[in-house]
Chain A
Amino acid sequence: DAGVIQSPRHEVTEMGQEVTLRCKPISGHDYLFWYRQTMMRGLELLIYFNNNVPIDDSGMPEDRFSAKMPNASFSTLKIQPSEPRDSAVYFCASGERQASPQHFGDGTRLSIL
């Protein structure tokens, strides 16, 4: 079975541009999570969805960040406008149910110049 699929793998863009990261969870998984990893702050949960509904977005750093899940097989994380401090690796993960293992995609390495 295919794992969690993220795109793009790498993104380099200039400050002020809009960035859209994409994620396809494992089929049949009800939970989808977006994380960010930086050297300073480690791995942080940004937002998670249950059955396409955002449940907790308290980790989203500010209003420039938004996430959507229009259907069970697709989610986006958008940054507008982007800033250099947004540079990080962004991971998407999915889980079958509330108490179950989380499986991560390979991440998107984002660099904002």
Chain B
Amino acid sequence: GIQVEQSPPDLILQEGANSTLRCNFSDSVNNLQWFHQNPWGQLINLFYIPSGTKQNGRLSATTVATERYSLLYISSSQTTDSGVYFCAGPRYNNNDMRFGAGTRLTVKP
């Protein structure tokens, strides 16, 4: 099956700093998505981004499908950004979503 690698595994930031999270796929993917799991365990869909760039407030994401990677940018981080960020994607035309191991982000005040 498709392999999903996320980096870095852990990230500690001071409030106000910027960061970039990366997601690499071993095969072509469609339907790539980014999720945030907050400290209460809730999984929130941040972006559905099979290709190109999208922005939502302080967050933006870019997927380069031909090179099998996606990036999540967090600008001016806040303590509420803490949690685990997952990327996930299925094989092309398939809903078999494979999740990465996640990046655990801690934002300190």
Binding site for B on A (CB under 8 A): 31, 33, 42-45, 48, 50, 55-56, 58-59, 89, 91, 93, 95, 98-104, 106-107, 109
Return A65 CB to nearest CB of chain B, in Å: 17
Checking B41, B45, B98, B100 against A102 with a beta-carbon cut-off of 8 angstroms, the contacting residue is B45
Knowing A31-B95, A33-B95, A42-B99, the reply to whether A104 touches B31 (Cβ < 8 A) is no
Knowing A33-B97, A43-B86, A102-B33, the reply to whether A89 touches B41 (Cβ < 8 A) is yes
Binding site for A on B (CB under 8 A): 30-31, 33, 35, 41-45, 48, 50, 86, 88, 93, 95-102
A43–B33 Cα distance when bound, in Å, is 14
- Chain A interface main SS type: strand
Chain A residues within an 8 Å CB radius of B43: 91, 93, 104, 107
Return A51 CB to nearest CB of chain B, in Å: 13
Return A98 CB to nearest CB of chain B, in Å: 6
Chain B residues within an 8 Å CB radius of A50: 95
A95–B44 Cα distance when bound, in Å, is 13
B48 and A101 within 8 A (CB): yes
Checking A48, A55, A99, A101 against B45 with a beta-carbon cut-off of 8 angstroms, the contacting residue is A101
B95 and A100 within 8 A (CB): no
Knowing A31-B95, A33-B95, A48-B95, the reply to whether A104 touches B42 (Cβ < 8 A) is yes
A58–B33 Cα distance when bound, in Å, is 22
A106 and B95 within 8 A (CB): no
B41 and A42 within 8 A (CB): no
Checking B30, B33, B98 against A101 with a beta-carbon cut-off of 8 angstroms, the contacting residue is B33
A48–B30 Cα distance when bound, in Å, is 17
B101 and A106 within 8 A (CB): no
Most chain A CB neighbours (cut-off 10 Å) among B31, B50, B95, B98: B95
19 more CB-based (< 8 A) A-B contacts, given A42-B99, A107-B41? A42-B100, A42-B101, A45-B96, A45-B97, A50-B95, A56-B95, A89-B41, A93-B43, A99-B31, A99-B50, A101-B33, A101-B48, A102-B33, A102-B45, A103-B45, A104-B43, A104-B45, A106-B42, A107-B42
